Amino acid sequence: MAKELVLVRGVSGAGKTTFALDLLGEKCELVSADMFFIDEYGDYKFDGTKLKQAHQWCKSRVEELMDAKESVAVANTFTREWEMQDYYDLAAKYGYRVFSIIVENRHNGTNLHDVSEEHVQKMRDRFEIKL
């Protein structure tokens, strides 16, 4: 199997994790910064002061999986191009093929992490796409 990295992008509530699990779950290990905030009981406990730490954990976990030659899907918002660069760099380092998939919220899904509509709108406004 080819070594692949799939970056699953979209605003909160778009269904990034659901997409990744349903369509990529058999093929890829799923990682997201949100996983950092899941406690030992499986409860999501977001702490905005630890967001940078969560993203660093996510990148480190992806590198561990790449070192083990596992295909990986990363489900993060990735609203800006630069937010994906570290993952592209890891892919180059480990010889991975990269796909970037944008999940649109056409189904009017609601986010599971209580992100305010105001913050989701800010994500929409800054979302960068390179075609």
Distance (Å, whole) CA 62 – CA 44: 20
Q: Residue 111 has what pLDDT?
A: 64
Higher pLDDT, 44 or 90: 90
Q: Look up tokens 């998939």; give the residue.
A: 101
Residue 16 belongs to some domain of the structure: yes
Distance, in Å, from the CA atom of 126 to the CA atom of 15, rounded to the nearest integer, reads 19
**In a domain? residue 92:** yes
Q: Is 80 part of any domain?
A: yes
- pLDDT given for residue 110 in this prediction: 64
Confidence of residue 16 (pLDDT cuts 50, 70, 90): very high
- Say if 24 falls within a structural domain: yes
| 117 within a domain of the structure (yes/no) | yes
Domain count, the chain: 1
Structural domain including 54 reads 4-126
Q: Would you say residue 131 lies in a domain?
A: no
